[in-house]
Structures are given as C-alpha cells and as structure tokens.
C-alpha cells in the first residue's frame, strides 16, 4: 500500500511542477501591461518606470522565473499588483467559500443522482428510465451560466426567496449550489445507472432476492455497494473540479471563491495572483485525484496488487 501511495504522490508532484512552469510561461504571454492598467494610459512615463521597477517587471524573464520558483518553494507568493495585499492572505480569504460551495453542491448531486440512477436501472426501458435519462441529458447539455441566470431570474428576482449574488449567509449558497449540483447529478445518474445494470445481473443479486430480501435492500445495500468503484472515481474527479473553483458559476453569482478571484486577477493582468490561483487550483485538483486513487485502492485490493506487477 505504501508503495502504491508513493507512486501516486510522485506522479502528482511531477504534474504540479509541470503546471507551475507552464503557468508562468503562459501568463507572461498574455497581452496587456499591468502597469498601464494600474496607472491608466494617461500616466507619466516616469511613474510607469518607477512602478515597473517596484513590481520587478523590469527584470528578464529568467530572473522573474527564478524569483517565482523561490517564492513557490518558500510559500511566499508575493503581493498582488492590483490589491496590494499578500497573495497568501487573499487565497485564504477566498478558498473557504469555494470549499463550502463544492461540498454543498456535491451533497445535492448525490442526493439527486443515487436514487435517480437506481430508479432508472431497476426500471429499465420504462417511462421512469426514459424520464431519468432525459433529465440527465438536459443537465449535461444546459450550460451553468444560463442555468445560473435562470435561477436568479426565477428564485431571486421573481420570487425573492434568495439573494441575487454575493455571500451573506446560508441562503446565498442555495442557488449556486443547485446550479452546480444539478449539472453534476446528471453525470453521476448516468454512471449509477450503467454500473447498477451490470451488477444487477450478477449471481449474488439473484441469491439475495431468493433469500427474500426487500428490493430496496438488494439495490441500496448489495448492488450499489458493489457498483461504487467507478462512481467514486467520477465523484473524485468532479469534486476536484468543484474545489478547483467553478469559475463560471462563481462569476455569475459573484461568489467570493477562488474561481472569481482568478477571473478578477486575469482582468487586471495581476500576474502573481493569476499564477498563485492557477497553482492552487492545480494542486487542489491533483490532490483530490490522488486521494481518490488511494480510496479506490483501499476499497479494491486488486488496484494495489496491480501496482506491484
């Protein structure tokens, strides 16, 4: 098991290093001058030169890269150009909001997907099955920015049940979480249905039914437990995406998370903040996937044995 974990962490570290280098190069290829954005086009040349030197943008690309690597290694990500605050503080301020949104969205998705997928699998080719798969198709097809705006128009502006945007308590999380959760539930429901259909044909399911167990116990205790492996993999991937910052949804609802912070940094050409946001997003995504792999190996010992072959 330790060898398996070591292999996964080594691969994760390699991925993070590659992303960190790639982010630095791509960010500096983005057109636009952060100094001009901060001071305006009418600023004096002397002021622009002074600010360029203060921000370290007068140095060569290699010197900036070395400073960037040192900062990442020492966890000193520098200051935001635009907000003039330590980047670590900005990320710590915003990241909890993203975690809360991701976890609530995941709970909503599971509450919808597990029973919906089970109903579709146990009632194959019936009206219930077709209805569940139609919902799944719609959930995958409808973009979050459109779904979010519809939710705002109906439940915030129309009915006045929830705030339009921002974070002002638990009621603020309902609309963005439902927007993300319904889209995720559509993907999970299809996976639950397909895996359950395979499991329901196994001999032990017929044996459980022959023993007189209730259908709900057969489905949710015996069948669903053995169908969890691919579902866990998909949940891990989707949770990594949510924790990495659902950028579009956070932008639509002005949710103060890491995704919205990244968008603001890009708009202001705030190089250090963009680099830090993308790096945190990458580490989060890779970390969740590594954790998912470990959970997968704990559940299925064949995975661990495969790593030794």
Query: Could you tell me if residue 20 is inside a domain?
Result: no
161-196: pLDDT as tens digits: 887 777 777 778 888 888 888 888 887 888 778 887
Query: Could you tell me if residue 158 is inside a domain?
Result: yes
Report the domain count for the chain: 1
pLDDT at 205: 73
- The answer to whether residue 306 scores a pLDDT higher than 60 is no
Local confidence band at 308 (pLDDT 50, 70, 90 cut-offs): low
pLDDT at 257: 83
- The answer to whether residue 275 scores a pLDDT higher than 70 is yes
Find out whether 24 and 275 touch, Cβ atoms under 8 Å.
yes
- The answer to whether residue 299 scores a pLDDT higher than 70 is no
- The answer to whether residue 32 scores a pLDDT higher than 70 is no
- The answer to whether residue 247 scores a pLDDT higher than 70 is yes
Query: Could you tell me if residue 51 is inside a domain?
Result: no
pLDDT at 287: 79
CATH number at residue 256: 1.10.3720.10
The residues with which 86 forms a beta bridge, in sequence order, are: 79
Query: Could you tell me if residue 59 is inside a domain?
Result: no
The burial of 233, by beta-carbon neighbours within 10 Å (0-12 exposed, 13-18 middle, 19 or more buried), is given as middle
1-24: pLDDT as tens digits: 667 667 676 777 777 778 778 877
pLDDT at 31: 63
pLDDT at 37: 62
pLDDT, mean of residues 250-272 = 80
Local confidence band at 229 (pLDDT 50, 70, 90 cut-offs): confident
pLDDT at 125: 78
75 φ, ψ (degrees, to nearest 5): 60, 25
pLDDT at 301: 62
Count CB neighbours of 127 within 10 A. Answer: 8
CA 210 to chain centroid, in Å, comes to: 43
**Long-range CB contacts (within 8 A, 24+) of 169-175:** 172/253, 172/255, 173/100, 173/101, 173/104, 175/148, 175/151, 175/253
Find out whether 205 and 155 touch, Cβ atoms under 8 Å.
no
- The answer to whether residue 255 scores a pLDDT higher than 70 is yes
Query: Could you tell me if residue 33 is inside a domain?
Result: no
Closest C-alpha to 281, from 260, 300, 303: 260
The C-alpha atoms of residue 229 and residue 225 are separated, in whole angstroms, by 8
pLDDT at 272: 78
121-167: pLDDT as tens digits: 777 778 877 887 787 777 777 777 788 888 888 888 888 788 777 77
Domain of 199, in residue numbers: 88-308
57-116: pLDDT as tens digits: 677 777 777 877 777 777 777 777 777 788 888 888 888 888 888 888 888 888 888 888
Query: Could you tell me if residue 159 is inside a domain?
Result: yes
Query: Could you tell me if residue 21 is inside a domain?
Result: no
Query: Could you tell me if residue 11 is inside a domain?
Result: no
Which residue would you say has higher pLDDT here, 34 or 191? Answer: 191
């Amino acid at each position: 098991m330790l060898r398996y974990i070591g292999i996964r962490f080594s691969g994760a570290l390699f991925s993070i290093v590659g992303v960190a280098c790639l982010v630095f190069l791509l960010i500096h290829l983005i057109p636009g001058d952060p100094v001009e954005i901060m001071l305006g086009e009418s600023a004096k040349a002397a002021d622009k030169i002074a600010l360029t030197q203060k921000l370290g943008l007068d140095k060569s690309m290699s010197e900036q890269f070395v400073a960037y690597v040192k900062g990442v290694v020492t966890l000193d990500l520098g200051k935001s150009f635009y907000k003039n605050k330590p980047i670590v503080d900005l990320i710590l301020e915003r990241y909890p909001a993203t975690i809360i949104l991701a976890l609530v969205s995941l709970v909503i998705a599971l509450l919808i997907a597990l029973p919906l997928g089970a109903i579709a699998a146990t009632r194959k080719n019936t009206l219930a099955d077709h209805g569940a798969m139609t919902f799944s198709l719609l959930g995958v097809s409808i973009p979050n920015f459109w779904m979010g705006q519809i939710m705002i128009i109906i439940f915030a502006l129309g009915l006045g049940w929830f705030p339009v945007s921002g974070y002002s308590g638990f009621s603020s999380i309902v609309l963005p979480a439902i927007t993300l959760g319904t889209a995720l539930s559509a993907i999970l429901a299809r996976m639950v249905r397909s895996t359950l259909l395979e499991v329901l044909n196994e001999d032990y399911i017929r044996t459980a039914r022959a023993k007189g167990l209730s259908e709900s116990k057969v489905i949710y205790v015996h069948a669903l437990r053995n169908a969890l492996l691919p579902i866990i993999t998909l949940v891990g991937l989707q949770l990594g995406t949510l924790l990495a910052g659902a950028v579009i949804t956070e932008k639509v609802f002005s949710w103060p998370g890491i995704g919205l912070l990244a968008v603001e940094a890009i708009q202001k050409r705030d190089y250090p903040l963009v680099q830090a946001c993308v790096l945190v997003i990458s580490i989060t995504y890779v970390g969740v996937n590594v954790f998912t792999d470990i959970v997968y190996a704990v559940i299925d010992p064949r995975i661990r044995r495969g790593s030794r072959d």
